[in-house]
Structure 1
């Protein structure tokens, strides 16, 4: 049984090294390379790629080395979305992960191009990775659907439009299942695909992902209210000033904390079908971390 802290300590440096080397190799224009690398290597817990790798660790750990490029591809997509979300036309944020956002560092045009470059590069890395071609096709499809206009991009569009109205709890959940949850779900399902898990195990991971994604967003909303910019590495109280729909705004802080616990409990229960044959402690520890 491996602990999440030890898992991260081993694999985040390996992932970061791969990201840095491949960006240097595959991006030749100096300013564009600097802008893309700046945001990708800004730090963070690498939640989404770690979820993919955690599935592999749980079910078939020997596949981790050859799957690192697939995990890296997810981080490229996530970083592109952050760069674009931070732009003046979107959330207009000046700080991300404790440092200046891409458009503040490199200018708005280069930031847009950095995001534009990261998105197709993710699919280049997926198609180049050392996995069987039928698996690569499935991985490309999962990532494209999770990040595309059916899910992540649609969620961002709904978030922008929602600033002009008050959403119901059902509408808010649907928004965040796309904006935040879909890429988290894609990460877990990509891991299930690499391991070629059966339908029951894949369905359990999909259910887990649904509740984990909502829990992650609720926790993020709570931290925007309760934390400082120094603690988060980005501005706080931004959601309220931008008239965004949030869980604390809709339910109150205590109600949002209750909603977080509900989603964490549901996510843990979603893993129950796996317990008889699988050590799910690593996946469960992601939930423990969110609860604290």
Structure 2
């Protein structure tokens, strides 16, 4: 993970040089290069390798996905959304640059993500590039991440069902993790069966990621998490521990991990090993 993250960080740094307008690019770089686990881009690279693809072709997509993820975090932290002061162990973007600059920088990250995919994948068939662009677009929009975000905001202070909570997290969290894996598989030359197996794996680890996130929110401190602990409780949000209790939430995480492992059993064990370990990392992470 460290080796792959270093590759992604280098590519991200090169993608956004510090240039005019200086404040805008400082804001973009501030959140994008603030660290983080780089789970999504690493999953993209691993999925590409699993189907026999060239990792170099997946790097622009991996960077694009991290830009989209960063955009979603900076939006999520805004006062009109979750109103958070801490992200990845440092003050949130709007606390440093102001809300107006943060909104503009987020929009710039989103558009740059698609520019990267369209301009850097010159050695890949146009059909596969187009499929990646469609996948990313549908993942972010009104049937994806944005749908999950608005459903999440609408649920604050309300009693919702487990199915409604799963809808929120499938769209708000799982979709982008799923897209990272699917796009890696598409650009790596995976066939339809391989892509769909990896899509199911992605859906499982996306939900696993969120269940673990909910558990950590009530069991870890802000210093340990690098973001505000107990935020969901203060915001009166529905979470898996709140709906089913902490122990049942932990059981659910184990079920998602087992399902993810099952989807990978159809692939060569050696090539699937990185994705197996990434699933375990997501399940047992401490921040």
TM normalised by structure 2 equals 0.95
What residue number does 1:132 align with? 125
Report the number of matched residues: 282
Instruction: Return the alpha-carbon distance in structure 1 between the equivalents of residues 96 and 23 of structure 2.
Output: 11
Q: Which of 192-201 and 151-160 deviates more?
A: 192-201
What residue number does 1:100 align with? 91
In structure 2, runs of 5+ residues without a counterpart are none
Q: Check if 1:172 corresponds to 2:172.
A: no
Q: Which of 211-220 and 124-133 deviates more?
A: 124-133
What residue number does 2:40 align with? 48
Residue 171 (structure 1) shift: 1.2
What residue number does 1:236 align with? 229
What residue number does 2:101 align with? 110
Aligned with 1:12 (options 5, 30, 34): 5
What residue number does 1:35 align with? 27
Q: Contact (CA 8 Å) 1:163, 1:243: kept in 2 or not?
A: yes
Q: Contact (CA 8 Å) 2:118, 2:129: kept in 1 or not?
A: yes
Deviations 1:53-101 (A, max 9, x none): 001222225x112321111011100000000000000000000000000
Alignment of 1:211-226 (within 5 A): 211-226=204-219
Deviations 1:156-204 (A, max 9, x none): 0000001142111111111100000001111111011112212221121
Q: Secondary structure at the match of 1:24?
A: coil
Instruction: Return the alpha-carbon distance in structure 1 between the equivalents of residues 57 and 258 of structure 2.
Output: 33
In structure 1, runs of 5+ residues without a counterpart are 1-7
Q: Check if 1:260 corresponds to 2:262.
A: no
Q: Check if 1:274 corresponds to 2:267.
A: yes
Residue 155 (structure 1) shift: 0.2
Aligned with 1:182 (options 175, 189, 196): 175
Q: Which of 201-210 and 154-163 deviates more?
A: 201-210
What residue number does 1:3 align with? none
Q: Contact (CA 8 Å) 1:70, 1:129: kept in 2 or not?
A: no
Q: Check if 1:291 corresponds to 2:279.
A: no
Instruction: Return the alpha-carbon distance in structure 2 between the equivalents of residues 11 and 222 of structure 1.
Output: 27
Residue 275 (structure 1) shift: 4.3
What residue number does 1:210 align with? 203
Q: Check if 1:121 corresponds to 2:122.
A: no
Instruction: Return the alpha-carbon distance in structure 2 between the equivalents of residues 170 and 275 of structure 1.
Output: 34
Q: Which of 196-205 and 77-86 deviates more?
A: 196-205
Instruction: Return the alpha-carbon distance in structure 2 between the equivalents of residues 54 and 258 of structure 1.
Output: 27
Deviations 1:95-126 (A, max 9, x none): 00000000001111111111111111100111
Residue 270 (structure 1) shift: 1.6
What residue number does 1:5 align with? none
Q: Check if 1:74 corresponds to 2:92.
A: no
Deviations 1:203-257 (A, max 9, x none): 2101111110000000000000000111110000000110111001101111111
